[in-house]
């Protein structure tokens, strides 16, 4: 049976600009799609409309009509896609078992904050079904797209950003509710945390020379552009991650003089938008990838 409280919670999250999608009732797993990219037959209506497999992230939405249609049929849990929502969620876990020992995620975060002479600012906070804590922060407007981490910050601390999702408040998992502990706007991700979570830059290296016989350099470059665009459009999900990797690869060719920045940017821009990414996010990701690729230029010689 549908649950009016879950529908209301999903609509409330969407009103904040957070992109939501259905989870299996009382479960953490996405309800849709019910198949992997390898098993996609194209019969799923959303996959068929897109002309490719469509994972949970591009299905996430803020459209109230779509949300009402979904949550009026079954008591779906609420998944919140962090990347499209421009959120970084810090997941503070607690030790499991009958006699839990060791630091909690909150202990680890407090220790990190103290080491950086900083505090942990109040932000939108959810208590998870198992007694952990989700701290919601706004993704930095500048810098690289942050991605998921597991234990990078220390014991019992994970993060969810681009390519990741969390179970949102109002849901239950195994009968345990996710509840709002502090209902306020998400604070900006602290600069010291953003620095710790930023992907490691590519080390500067000597330019790579690709030698091709018979003046085939242009064909090589064209194939490279097509391959990298297909990396974005053909992927089942994690489109922004794939766009970043493609931008790094083509950015190397731009830095080496084999490809113009305009040509590469235009091709990647079309690929990102075709994959369902927002235009402004696509431009930011391309710029970030080009910057990383410039550190490792790749030249093509006839």
CATH code for position 91: 3.30.2250
| 87 lies in the same domain as 193 | yes
| 194 lies in the same domain as 91 | yes
Query: Is 203 inside any structural domain?
Result: no
| 59 lies in the same domain as 119 | no
> What is the rounded CA–CA span in Å between residue 190 and residue 197?
11
Q: How many domains does the chain have?
A: 3
Both tokens of 262, joined, read: 């305009």
Query: Is 194 inside any structural domain?
Result: yes
> What is the rounded CA–CA span in Å between residue 167 and residue 134?
10
> What is the rounded CA–CA span in Å between residue 77 and residue 24?
6
Query: Is 168 inside any structural domain?
Result: no
| 221 lies in the same domain as 273 | yes
Stretch 47-71: mean pLDDT, rounded?
90
| 97 lies in the same domain as 29 | no
* pLDDT band, very low/low/confident/very high, at 100 (cuts 50, 70, 90): low
Among residues 15, 11, 19, the alpha carbon closest in space to that of 277 is found at: 19
Query: Is 167 inside any structural domain?
Result: no
Model pLDDT for residues 270-294, shown as the tens digit of each residue: 888 877 787 888 888 899 889 888 8
Q: Which domain holds residue 21?
A: 1-81
Both tokens of 32, joined, read: 């849709």
| 133 lies in the same domain as 194 | yes
Model pLDDT for residues 248-265, shown as the tens digit of each residue: 999 999 988 888 888 888
* pLDDT band, very low/low/confident/very high, at 204 (cuts 50, 70, 90): low
Among residues 159, 137, 135, 134, the alpha carbon closest in space to that of 148 is found at: 159
pLDDT exceeding 70 applies to what percent of the chain? Answer: 90
């Amino acid at each position: 049976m549908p649950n009016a409280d879950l529908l209301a919670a999903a609509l409330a999250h969407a009103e904040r600009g957070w992109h939501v999608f259905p989870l299996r009732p009382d479960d953490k797993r996405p309800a849709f799609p019910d198949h992997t990219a390898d098993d996609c037959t194209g019969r799923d209506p959303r996959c068929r409309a897109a002309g490719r497999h469509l994972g949970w992230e591009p299905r996430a939405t803020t459209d109230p009509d779509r949300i009402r249609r979904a949550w009026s049929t079954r008591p779906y849990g609420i998944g919140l896609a962090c990347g499209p929502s421009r959120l970084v969620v810090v997941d503070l876990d607690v030790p499991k078992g009958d006699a839990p020992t060791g630091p909690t995620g909150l202990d680890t975060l407090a220790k990190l904050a103290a080491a950086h002479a900083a505090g942990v600012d109040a932000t939108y906070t959810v208590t998870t079904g198992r007694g952990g804590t989700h701290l919601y922060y706004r993704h930095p407007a500048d810098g690289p797209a942050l991605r998921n981490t597991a234990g990078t910050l220390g014991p019992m601390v994970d993060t969810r950003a681009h390519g990741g999702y969390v179970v949102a408040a109002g849901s239950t998992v195994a009968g345990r509710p996710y509840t709002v502990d502090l209902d306020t706007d998400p604070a900006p991700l602290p600069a010291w945390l953003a620095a710790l979570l930023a992907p490691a830059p590519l080390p500067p290296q000597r330019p790579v020379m690709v030698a091709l016989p018979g003046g085939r350099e242009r064909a090589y470059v064209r194939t490279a552009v097509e391959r990298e665009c297909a990396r974005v459009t053909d992927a089942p999900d994690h489109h922004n991650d794939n766009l970043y990797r493609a931008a790094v690869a083509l950015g190397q060719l731009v830095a080496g003089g084999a490809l113009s920045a305009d040509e590469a940017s235009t091709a990647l821009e079309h690929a990102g938008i075709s994959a369902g990414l927002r235009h402004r996010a696509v431009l930011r990701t391309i710029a970030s990838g080009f910057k990383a690729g410039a550190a490792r230029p790749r030249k093509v010689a006839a």
